[in-house]
Chain A
Amino acid sequence: MREVAVVSFAQTPYVRRERGRSEVEMLLPVIGQAIERSGIPKSEIGFTCSGSSDYIAGQAFAFVSAVDALGAWPPISESHVEMDGAWALYEAWVKIQCGHADSALVFAFGRASMGTLPETLTMQLDPYTLQPLGVDAVSLAALQARALLDAGLCTERDMAEVAMRSRRDAKRNAFAQLKGDYEVAKILSEPHLISPLRKHDCPPISDGAAAVVIAAGDLARSKCRRPAWIRGIDHRIEPHQPGFRDLTVSPSTTLAAHKAGAASAPLDLAELHAPFTHQELILRRALALPAAVRINPSGGPLAANPMMAAGLVRIGEAAQRIHDRDAGRALAHATQGHCLQQNLVCVLEGE
């Protein structure tokens, strides 16, 4: 396998509603910054791949307009996944492994304010058996949290502590949307939103975009003082029907982490794409993370959750901490689908 590293990362501030800018206008500065920070001239970037969803944008071919943020002239080698941008990064990594490119720009965007997100996500369910039930994304997450509580694998206090820690850590993240000091006791005194989830257990609805540049071997070394090397990357999917799965565990995360070699050396931190508090608890167990591993120093998706970009942001945040010598070895995780259906694990390391 070729050595490939994340060499730069850029993101927008995340907001509940981006009023003034279209998706292309959100992307332009972010893509510009990621390319500039990479030190690789735009014309020399060998491949471009993005992640987005037409249903989030409310438009067929939303990614076609996004190309207008690339200045794709002369025409470029480019692809798109209807997935979180973390999977766009995976496709770009494969492209570099093939030797078809030595570097790639990866970006993702989501402007959930264009619709009513929990209901939009209902459209992501099996149209024959689940969509007609009208169950929304938060309700399904609540079912999962209930299963976890009933199994005695966590308490509502554990969940509140995840919320408290995430929003406290987000105070140091200039891009985060939801941040501040909250008391666990106070969180627990609040009413349930959809039992057993309280508002604090849920992610904010965010508009935002992110971009990453990855590069192979010597190119990465020559452009980046401390490249964040991708030591392993893998992703796995589970059955879609909630009834086909044990919702209290995440075997796809465990398998992806195993394939990515996560356990081969100690980790300093993990950026977990757990939109709901109880999902972080499931992931920590699935990844067998020791207590010493810092979880989501950025605040994670509970501080900002731009649909289709939040997974890529986890990789970007983990890489950034390696670039800054704040971490030596980090794990980044991305998820999509209801109740952690599909999961990606990327292990990053400084030299």
Chain B
Amino acid sequence: MAENCAVIGVGQTQHDSKRIDVSQVGLVREAALRALEDAELDWKDIDALVIGKAPDLFEGVMMPELFLADALGGAGKPMLRVHTAGSVGGTTAIVAASLVQAGVHERVLTVAYEKQSESNAMWALSIQLPFQQGVVAGAGGYFAPLIRAYIRRANAPEDTGIRVALKDRLNALKNPYAHLKFPGITFEQVAQSPMLWDPIRYLETCPSSDGACAMVLGNAKAAKRAPHKSAWVHATAMRTEPTQFAGRDQVNPRAGKDCAKELYAKAGITRPRQDIDCAEIYVPFSWFEPMWMENLGFAPEHEGWKMTYEGATALGGDMPVNMSGGVLSSNPIGASGMLRFAEAANQVRGLAGEHQVEGTRRALGHAYGGGSQYFSMWIVGDQPL
């Protein structure tokens, strides 16, 4: 690796179910301008753009980055568009980081977004093609059986998911950008919310959001000039496994385990729960917190739920997870992964506001996508590795 890469600017939009006050252009610019402002940079300081989003069918525009590039100061610059399903926000950040690490560019602006109100994501995901397994009724219908399998395998208490949802929704109250906020929310309210896809209740589900996230990544020289503290990229990793393969374990996917293993090895992490101060991970349905705690090696197999149950993953616990309120509170799909990566960066920068975990020196950003075939992750630290 030729260069160290640092996050020197972070920005995100207000997330909401319908951002009718802005076009797609306005949405991506809102995030990008905040990231530039955070880095005290202008469009002309940016060498290249890396744009990410989930399926183009969500907005009804084929390769929309071609028209968005203008508004992001792209004319005359290199522009890449990444798409790796729900993990795309994370992968986009990794591609942008690699441009800096390779020594190709000094400063890269990366933006991920989704304006889901332009269409209906559930049905865009449910196009049935011959000889292919259908997603049925959106992602909830796909993932519910996997969660039931997890509960059975781990013999997990049935209210684990409710506890995750309550924690994340309380965390979201500390996040000014969060889409869903339920002041004074209680365990009973989550428990009594309608069952959508057993065992996933309404309040254990992510929303469908309009939103964007942007980061300015730079090399050591750029970081030195940055006005705020930088988050240094210690390691990145991604993994993909096939969809149609009988040997897959979709509850605890090997792609996720292998991805984490490579990530930790690169970052010099041997005991993840001790070595990492907090984690922002992709939890679109509450139960994925305990599932991913095991997949990421924070808990032994079948014991991830204990971390939730014992409060380890709460703000103030020994391993805070989803300090921002997570995907359960804001879910512009294409940006959801980058929001995780950006929250990890802001935690080590000490700029996470009310949901700051004090003394964070190393944080994990995690995203997954598809039917749990796609994983992307990074570790950021307050010092270069």
Chain A residues proximal to chain B, CB less than 8 Å: 1, 22, 48, 53-55, 58-61, 63-65, 67-68, 70-83, 87, 90-91, 94-95, 97-100, 120-121, 123-128, 130-131, 234-241, 244, 251-252, 255, 336-338, 341-342
Tell me whether B82 is interfacial, beta carbon within 8 Å. Answer: yes
> Are the CB atoms of B239 and A60 closer together than 8 Å?
no
A50 to B297 Cα, complex, angstroms? 30
Q: Which residue of B lies closest to A237 (CB)?
A: B79
A48 to B247 Cα, complex, angstroms? 21
> Are the CB atoms of B240 and A236 closer together than 8 Å?
no
Q: Which residue of A lies closest to B79 (CB)?
A: A237
Using Cβ atoms and an 8 Å threshold, which residues of chain A touch B242? 67-68, 70-73
> Are the CB atoms of B98 and A61 closer together than 8 Å?
no
Question: Contacts A236-B77, A239-B75, A240-B67 hold; do A98 and B101 have CB atoms under 8 A apart?
Answer: yes
> Are the CB atoms of A124 and B66 closer together than 8 Å?
yes
Tell me whether B61 is interfacial, beta carbon within 8 Å. Answer: yes
A341 to B67 Cα, complex, angstroms? 10
> Are the CB atoms of A75 and B127 closer together than 8 Å?
no
CB distance from A39 to the nearest CB of B (A): 24
> Are the CB atoms of B80 and A90 closer together than 8 Å?
yes
> Are the CB atoms of A127 and B77 closer together than 8 Å?
no
Question: Contacts A61-B85, A126-B67, A237-B69 hold; do A76 and B55 have CB atoms under 8 A apart?
Answer: no
Interface centre among A81, A337, A341 (most CB of B within 10 A): A81
Using Cβ atoms and an 8 Å threshold, which residues of chain B touch A234? 78
Tell me whether B350 is interfacial, beta carbon within 8 Å. Answer: no
Q: Which residue of A lies closest to B84 (CB)?
A: A80
A-B contact pairs, 21 of them (CB 8 A): A54-B56, A60-B55, A64-B370, A65-B243, A68-B245, A76-B241, A79-B84, A80-B83, A82-B63, A83-B81, A95-B102, A97-B98, A98-B2, A125-B67, A131-B61, A237-B66, A237-B74, A240-B67, A240-B69, A244-B70, A338-B66
Tell me whether B237 is interfacial, beta carbon within 8 Å. Answer: yes
Chain B residues proximal to chain A, CB less than 8 Å: 1-2, 23-25, 55-67, 69-70, 74-85, 91, 94-95, 98-99, 101-104, 124-125, 127, 129, 131-132, 237-245, 247, 253-255, 258-259, 262, 370, 373-374
> Are the CB atoms of A337 and B66 closer together than 8 Å?
yes
> Are the CB atoms of A241 and B70 closer together than 8 Å?
yes
Q: Which residue of A lies closest to B104 (CB)?
A: A94
> Are the CB atoms of B243 and A99 closer together than 8 Å?
no
Pairs of residues from A and B, 9 with the lowest C-beta to C-beta distance, nearest first: A97-B102, A60-B55, A75-B255, A55-B62, A78-B240, A75-B241, A126-B67, A82-B83, A123-B62
A75 to B245 Cα, complex, angstroms? 11
Using Cβ atoms and an 8 Å threshold, which residues of chain A touch B82? 79-82
CB distance from B15 to the nearest CB of A (A): 21
Q: Which residue of A lies closest to B127 (CB)?
A: A59
Question: Contacts A79-B91, A94-B98, A237-B69 hold; do A74 and B254 have CB atoms under 8 A apart?
Answer: yes
> Are the CB atoms of B62 and A124 closer together than 8 Å?
yes
Using Cβ atoms and an 8 Å threshold, which residues of chain B touch A72? 240-242
A338 to B66 Cα, complex, angstroms? 9
CB distance from B369 to the nearest CB of A (A): 9
Question: Contacts A83-B80, A237-B75 hold; do A64 and B243 have CB atoms under 8 A apart?
Answer: yes
> Are the CB atoms of B62 and A73 closer together than 8 Å?
no
Question: Contacts A82-B56, A83-B81, A127-B59 hold; do A59 and B129 have CB atoms under 8 A apart?
Answer: yes
Using Cβ atoms and an 8 Å threshold, which residues of chain A touch B254? 74-75
Q: Which residue of A lies closest to B371 (CB)?
A: A64
> Are the CB atoms of B70 and A75 closer together than 8 Å?
no
> Are the CB atoms of A73 and B74 closer together than 8 Å?
no
A94 to B70 Cα, complex, angstroms? 24
Question: Contacts A67-B243, A79-B84 hold; do A98 and B124 have CB atoms under 8 A apart?
Answer: no
Using Cβ atoms and an 8 Å threshold, which residues of chain A touch B60? 123, 127
CB distance from A79 to the nearest CB of B (A): 6
> Are the CB atoms of A53 and B240 closer together than 8 Å?
no
> Are the CB atoms of B240 and A67 closer together than 8 Å?
yes
Using Cβ atoms and an 8 Å threshold, which residues of chain B touch A338? 66
Q: A65-B243, A72-B240, A72-B242 are in contact. List 4 more A-B contacts (CB 8 A).
A: A60-B125, A68-B244, A70-B242, A251-B76
Question: Contacts A73-B245, A91-B80, A342-B79 hold; do A124 and B98 have CB atoms under 8 A apart?
Answer: no
